[in-house]
Amino acid sequence: AAEARARRKSLEMQAHERREARLKLERQLAALTAQHRDVIGRAPDAARLTALQAEGQSLLGEHEAIDTALLEAEAHAIATSSTVTAARDGAQSTRLAAERLAVEVETLFKLLKPQGEVVFPPIVDSLTVEPGYETALGAALGDDLEVPLTQDSPVHWRSNKPEVADPGLPKGVEPLASRVTGPLELARRLAQIGVVDAADGPRLQAQLKSGQRLVSKAGDLWRWDGFVAAAHGDSASAVRLAQRNRLGGLAGELDTLQAASKTQLAAEAKAIATHREADEHLRLQRQRARETQMRLAEARQALTIMEQQARETQQRLASIAEAREIAEEALADAGERLAEVEIALETLSEANPFEDQLAIVQEDAAEKRTAYANARAELATLDREHKARLARLTEIGAEITRWAERKTSAETQTADLRARLEASLEELEMFAELPEMLAEQREKLLSAVADAEAARQAQADQLAAADQTFRTVQTELRAAQAAVSTTRETRARAEARLEAARQRRADDGRKTRETLGVAPDECLALAEHAVDTPLPALDDVDKQLARLKGDRERLGGVNLAADDDLARMTEQFDGVEKERLDVEQAIAKLRAGIGELNREAKGRLDVAFHTVNGHFQKLFGILFNGGEASLKMIESPEDPLDGGLEIIAKPPGKKPATLSLLSGGEQTLTALSLIFAVFLTNPSPICVLDEVDAPLDDANVDRFCLMMEKMAEETDTRFLVITHHPQTMSRMNRLFGVTMAEKGVSQLVSVDLELARKFVEQAA
């Protein structure tokens, strides 16, 4: 019966499973059909894919053309930059030469300008001498060149027409008047001075008439009376004339240089304008290249996405078709198996001859199983009760033992408590009178303390009175000592004055004896002054004595060494004058050097400023993807080198503003542009950047990384970047970091991204 039932149940379960499998396969086929329709509906448009491919080819050609134009624009910008540099160098050198000449002209003008107000200007300021004849004129006239024309001067030049014509110079001698242009007052003197060679002077001196003289260009002098003076250097007047001639020549050179400087400045401005146009064209080409590259990248990305979608669609359609074929085969197989199971169920006999007998046997077995179970349950209950009784007896014995021990311990503890009670009672009786004794002793101590405090107060009052008395006595003692000291000082001063008076009296007596030859008491008799007549006033006597001494001093004496003193003083004056000229020349040279250094520094500052400004504008446009920025010099009125620098930034879509008015990210990008602009002007081997991308968003970080990569390509600089931004770390060549694999244990790790990228490319 069990086998029959199991066979039927198995067949029914198989039929149910076959039906479920067939339903599942039918649902799977329906789902595959729906997926097929959905995939076909989502498949990319072939026309759109073809259009994207054509657009990509067009953009690629346009990008190549823009690259070619960009290379040409870069070459043109480099050429214009070289032209600007050459023009700037030429203008700078010409400007420096003009400034040097201007400094020299200014120095000569200051040297030739009279110091202070000149009442009687010398005649040398009215003369014009051909270059090279200044020394000859100075040797011929000497100090006469310093004499003025003004008639009010005690010493002056004036016109003096002779009644008889002056004699002429020796034959062949050129008069100095042909080389000198000056006032008429000096014409007669210049006509009697001839200019000859140094070798002909001694020969022609014998032919000179009265008042005539010969000079050489070097400064040699031959006079008609036989006086000869060899050339001994340029006089102050000759130097002044030479400086005036030098000033006139420098003025022409300065005008020429200034004109040339203006021309070169115009050429420089034109070259700068051309260079700016080239830079602007280069910037536009680069912007077009970036835009075309972005469009090409977007087209390539869209084309890649569509091609990937097409491949995925084909793969999914193929997998759906394969799964559908498998599902159809499984559905057919499941139908065949279900038919076989249904046929087997139909052929299985419905009647079971063992069912009735099976029910009787099962009822009898159930009764016997019940009796057996009851007997086993009763036996288990009795066994449990027996074991519980044995355990309880064991526990009772143990409890009896414990209670006996506790009884013994309680008796011992009771005896101890009784003994402690008796001892406590005895101690309580002994300390019963202690509080009264302590109170009595406390009262005695308080009385003693009060007496001691009263005694201390009395002693303190006595001490205060004694201190007051001591301070009063001490004040009086100081006053007395001060009075004694003052009296001693007064007495000492009086004694000193008395001693000084005595000494002066003795000195006056000695001087009287030495001067007049008589004792002081006999002076009145020597002066024929009566004893009874009053003495004249001391002030009147002093004034009369001073007047008489002045008269004596004005009379003076004969100085036999006056010529030697004059020669010595003249030599000293010439030395001082020469030193003054040297100092003035040194001051002029020093000022010229300082001016040249300032101009050189300003020129270099201008060059560096323009270079940094160009890099700053370029990098600002890269980091902000547009916009404008510039640097502005704030010059100091005293010294341009002490001026400041102002940053004007105009991000895309904003008005020009200073750096303090920008946001945090914009300030960071602007500061990075300026820092890297200075860095590009003078790059270094290593550049360390610490958390510079912290305030930037992802788009700005990408621009920052792009700029850093370009700088690394254009220069030999290696960048060491400290960052936590994943986008920045992904653009690096190598990563270094610290990890803590175990708690409290740090470990340095490094990753070579370039090597890892090569491994991935090789694996692909």
3-state per-residue secondary structure call for 76-142: HHHHHHHHHHHHHHHHHHHHHHHHHHHHHHHHHHHHHCCCCCCCCCEHHHHCEECCCCHHHHHHHHH
Give the pLDDT band (50/70/90) at residue 254.
low
Judge whether residue 351 has pLDDT over 50.
Answer: no
Tokens (6 digits) for 329: 């085969």
Instruction: Determine the Cα–Cα distance for residues 354 and 331; give it in Å rounded to an integer.
Output: 39
Distances (CA, A) of 371 to 136, 364, 367: 168, 11, 6
pLDDT, mean of residues 366-386: 80
Tokens (6 digits) for 310: 């097409």
Give the pLDDT band (50/70/90) at residue 378.
confident
Q: Which residue has the higher pLDDT, 46 or 161?
A: 161
pLDDT, mean of residues 571-588: 89
Instruction: Determine the Cα–Cα distance for residues 752 and 735; give it in Å rounded to an integer.
Output: 6
Distances (CA, A) of 24 to 38, 372, 553, 711: 21, 51, 152, 65
Q: What is the pLDDT of residues 412-457, one digit of tens each?
A: 888 888 888 888 787 777 777 767 777 778 888 888 888 888 888 8
Instruction: Determine the Cα–Cα distance for residues 303 and 662; give it in Å rounded to an integer.
Output: 40
pLDDT, mean of residues 691-719: 84
SS3 345: helix
Tokens (6 digits) for 54: 């054509």
Partners of 230 in beta bridges: none
Q: What is the pLDDT of residues 38-92, one digit of tens each?
A: 777 766 666 777 777 777 777 777 777 777 777 787 777 788 777 877 777 777 7
Instruction: Determine the Cα–Cα distance for residues 272 and 260; give it in Å rounded to an integer.
Output: 18
Tokens (6 digits) for 96: 């420096």
Query: What is the model's pLDDT at position 300?
Result: 73
Residue 326 host element (H or E): helix 236-347
Distances (CA, A) of 339 to 12, 333, 334, 536: 12, 10, 9, 177
pTM > 0.75: no
Query: What is the model's pLDDT at position 654?
Result: 78
Residue 514 host element (H or E): helix 434-516
- % of residues, the chain, pLDDT over 70: 88
Cα angle 631, 637, 641; round to 5: 55
Distances (CA, A) of 270 to 98, 496, 628: 21, 92, 23
Neighbours of 729 (CB within 10 A): 15
Query: What is the model's pLDDT at position 188?
Result: 79
Taking Cα atoms as reference points, which of 69, 68, 626, 58 lies closest to residue 296?
Answer: 58
- One-letter amino acid identity for 368? K
Q: How far apart are the first and last CA of the chain?
A: 68
pLDDT, mean of residues 456-470: 85
Instruction: Determine the Cα–Cα distance for residues 463 and 473; give it in Å rounded to an integer.
Output: 15
Give the pLDDT band (50/70/90) at residue 154.
confident
